[in-house]
Amino acid sequence: MNVAVFIGSESDFEVISGGIEILKEFGVSFTLEVTSAHRTPERTIKLIQEMEDQGVEIFIAAAGMAAHLGGVVAAHTTRPVIGIPVGGQTLNGLDALLSTVQMPKGVPVACMGIGKSGAINAALLAVQILSLKDDKLAKKMHNYREKQAALIEKSSENIKKKL
Ligand code: RP5
């Protein structure tokens, strides 16, 4: 198992599903658990230990509102933790963004942007970290970037046709 994805609530799943698709696309082995820093604190800590025992190298933590899941995970592992602030509540994710990004010094969480783009970037960042020691994955990432660039060039041609 390479990556453990923790979400604070089942309601977060829809937001992070794009990131899950990326992990699948790149063939990264992962597991997903719903676990909450405040509703199931013991379970969260137990899961971190279990994931480490299974060889998980990177944790992804997605939560909304006072999003302390990333910070709690980071407090219990020295492996990289990527945080995704989930929006959709009263403050549209600004609360979760600040909670995730403003970790006091000493225990970092690599905070992505709010919501669906953040979830996709979290998965891509995880792939990039794993690529450091996996040439096949690095090649896949290179191809992914090339495809993205080709799409932008195609868009440019499409728009020009409309002018
Ligand atoms: C957070 O509170 C979760 O990560 C979720 O984003 C938010 C709302 O949770 P639910 O009330 O939908 O379970 O803990």
Three-class secondary structure of residue 79 per DSSP: coil
Contacts of 74 (CB under 8 A, 6+ apart): 59, 81, 103, 107, 108, 109
> Which CATH number is associated with domain 3-132?
3.40.50.1970
Q: State both tokens at 103.
A: 């970790």
Q: What is the pLDDT of residue 73?
A: 98
7 Cα nearest atom in ligand 1: 4
Ligand 1 pocket list (CB less than 6 A): 8-9, 11-12, 36, 63-65, 86
Q: What is the pLDDT of residues 6-19, one digit of tens each?
A: 999 999 999 999 99
**Residue 86 φ/ψ region, left for φ over 0, alpha for ψ in the -120 to 50 degree band, beta for the rest:** beta
Q: Residue with the nearest Cα to atom 12 of ligand 1?
A: 11
Q: Which residues of 48-82 are buried (b: 16+ CB within 10 A; e: fewer)?
A: beebbeeebbbbbbbbbbebbbbbbbbbbbebbbb
pLDDT (average), residues 34-48: 98
pLDDT digits (tens, 9 = 90+) for 104-162: 999 999 999 999 999 999 999 999 999 999 999 999 999 999 999 999 999 999 999 99
Q: Which atom of ligand 1 is nearest to the CA of 62?
A: 4
Where do the domains of the chain lie?
3-132, 135-163
pLDDT digits (tens, 9 = 90+) for 50-98: 999 999 999 999 999 999 999 999 999 999 999 999 999 899 999 999 9
pLDDT (0 to 100) of residue 29: 98
Cα 109 from Cα 33, distance rounded (Å): 18
Single pTM value for the model: 0.96
* Residue 84 · residue 112 · CB < 8 Å: yes
Q: In the structure encoding, which two tokens stand for residue 116, read together?
A: 């669906």
Q: Which residues are CB-neighbours of 132 under 8 A, at least 6 positions away?
A: 138
Give the model's pLDDT for residue 114: 98
| The pLDDT of residue 157 | 95
SS3 152: helix
Q: Return the pLDDT at 41.
A: 98
pLDDT the model gives residue 46: 98
Token digits for 66? 């006072």
